[in-house]
Chains A and B, each alone.
Chain A
Amino acid sequence: MTDLTSFTIAAARDRLAKNEFTALELTDAHLKAMEKAKGLNAFITTTAEVARTRAKASDARLQTGTAGALEGIPIGIKDLFCTEGVQTTAGSHILEGFKPPYESTVSQKLRDAGAVMLGKLNMDEFAMGSSNGTSYFGPVKNPWKARSRPPDSEAGDLVPGGSSGGSAAAVAAHLVLGATGTDTGGSIRQPASFCGIVGVKPTYGRCSRWGIVAFASSLDQAGPMTRTVRDAAIMLKAMCGHDPKDSTSAPLAVPDFEAALGKGVKGLRIGIPKEYRPDGLNADVALLWDAGVQWLKDAGATPVEISLPHTKSALPTYYIVAPAEASSNLARYDGLRFGQRDRTMGNSLDEMYAKTRAAGFGAEVKRRILIGTYVLSAGYYDAYYVKAQKVRALIAKDFTDAFSKVDAILTPTAPTAAFGLHGKQDDPIAMYLNDVFTVPASLAGIPGASVPAGLNNDGLPLGLQVLTKRWDEETMFRVCQVLEDAARFPTLKVAP
């Protein structure tokens, strides 16, 4: 019998409908793969019992013809989504043991569609990181290995990217068919690129943020991480839609993204931004980008050189806006209402807060809260925060101007392939540069996707990023499908 972890969501969906196997068999096969791949540390919490109960319920619905769009499909949920009665940590010590009494809108929608949750996926603490190295629950290993590194040694361990590193590793390693991620500055797209999978950040407002632990509310968006473009389209449709509980959630109809996939790119104009080719761009990344342009040209699209003049200001803008919002959002971790409390208590309420937060947050989170507090403090607010909001407006305008000339934009997803897990990672700015190509779209609120497009000369995955204007995920999916078809990317075949 075929290995049940080898299917895509689309293939599993069709075979479940034809009773070729049961949802419980599919779930059990993935639970077994998870057990074998424990060394990847992709999960913070596994929920085998919940999964088997839900898989049996899926089988009942499949038999009675009441199956949802993702009926019986095993998925993982990033540990940033609140899940009813299941520990939700955001990768932080301060939330260890927190069991939400409610379910986030996105994970509820996936449940309603019949998806089966296998567990909660590891991530950078509060989604702040690009290597999964800031997780309190330890780093995640990338299932890919470099040709030049000895595979079974510490030197062979590579990062999966971040912050949705557990999601990316679990999908790439066939532990789940798809996973939720969240993207604030690249946290879906960069790990998707590092792990050779598809990652989609929809338009800001497409997915409800209700029940997702907040990092930077004007940037945070949930999205799917899958092994194929089609699977991402199927999963995104189930995740998005208007939610009155999130005032920034868009009251717009959800398009049938899957229906857009076959439409091709003939006649589309594809923008190639010159600012994304700085001096010293990694040679493999540059070559692959050129190949991507050629594939789209071969499929009938017209490449157009464009300029996004404020690109270089995007990262510093992000590192004012995101920490400012984080310092405000993370004020709720006070040791009183949920999560961890420092038991020495101190002599006052303030001292209890300060000790709890010092013990509960990791170094990078503290750094960002302090920066955010500083840029919002009296005397500095205008010089830093308002200035950043103005530059953000210019960055958004760059894209608006570009989309008056082109239908989509093609760029590399990340400046490099996955790097070593045990190397030195203590320069914050060097780590921030991982998101140099993904942050601008986050600031502008436009949709972006990463498609695995090829391997570098060391055998590691590289992704290409497709950006479109707000609410035009359908064009984004059309371009992604053409890239996927042309790239013939060597996806890892089954669970390791």
Chain B
Amino acid sequence: MSLDEATIRRIATLARIEVPQAELEATAAKLSGILNWIEQLNEVNTDNVAPMSGGTVSGGTDLTLPWRTDVVTDGDQQEMVLANAPEAHAGFFAVPKVVE
């Protein structure tokens, strides 16, 4: 499938990545090339095949995901949590002003 510039703009918004107007066309061409190549999968018959959703084969004798008790196991580390923040104020992450 060929992606047009409007589609690239829409995906870029969803992905929160700014794509400048000047790069839209080249981005569309590269992504379309990859998608066209990917579409060879349509030749594979997948009727009645269950999707494999993780790295482990589900069912059979293989491992299933474990459960654990829903309890707090960590916390009270405000300083460590904020240590890598580009901006932190008064114990909070700081964001651009969003309310006038």
Known interface pairs A335-B86, A387-B41, A428-B30; A352-B18 also in contact (CB < 8 Å): no
Interchain CB contact under 8 A, B54 and A248: yes
Chain B, range 54-90, C-beta contacts under 8 Å to A? 54-57, 62-63, 65-66, 68, 77, 80-81, 83-87
Determine how close the nearest CB of chain A comes to the CB of B47; give it in whole angstroms: 9
How extensive is the interface on chain A, given as a class? 35 or more
Judged by a CB distance under 8 angstroms, whether A392 is at the interface is: yes
In the bound complex, what is the Cα–Cα distance between A337 and B94 (angstroms)?
A: 9
Interchain CB contact under 8 A, B50 and A341: no
Complex contacts, B77 vs chain A, CB 8 Å: 101
Chain A, range 82-112, C-beta contacts under 8 Å to B? 97-101
Interchain CB contact under 8 A, A336 and B95: yes
Interchain CB contact under 8 A, A251 and B66: yes
Interchain CB contact under 8 A, B11 and A338: no
Chain A, range 341-370, C-beta contacts under 8 Å to B? 341, 345-355, 357-358, 361, 366-367, 369-370
Interchain CB contact under 8 A, B85 and A367: no
Interchain CB contact under 8 A, A392 and B52: yes
Interchain CB contact under 8 A, A357 and B16: yes
Judged by a CB distance under 8 angstroms, whether A226 is at the interface is: no
Interchain CB contact under 8 A, A341 and B86: yes
Judged by a CB distance under 8 angstroms, whether A219 is at the interface is: yes
Interface string of A417-448 (1 = CB under 8 A from B): 00000000000110000000000000001000
- Which of A100, A244, A310 touches B44 (beta carbons < 8 Å)? A310
Residue of B nearest to A340 (CB): B86
Chain A, range 372-411, C-beta contacts under 8 Å to B? 373-374, 377, 384, 386-394, 396, 400
Further contacts, 18 of them, CB under 8 A, given A97-B84, A357-B17: A100-B84, A316-B39, A320-B41, A347-B96, A349-B98, A350-B16, A358-B19, A369-B17, A370-B17, A371-B34, A374-B3, A390-B49, A390-B50, A391-B41, A391-B44, A393-B50, A394-B46, A470-B62
* 6 A/B residue pairs, CB under 8 Å, sorted by A: A319-B37, A320-B41, A355-B18, A358-B18, A391-B44, A470-B57
**A interface with B by C-beta (< 8 Å):** 97-101, 204-205, 217-219, 244, 247-248, 250-251, 310, 312-313, 316-317, 319-320, 327, 331, 334-341, 345-355, 357-358, 361, 366-367, 369-371, 373-374, 377, 384, 386-394, 396, 400, 428-429, 445, 470
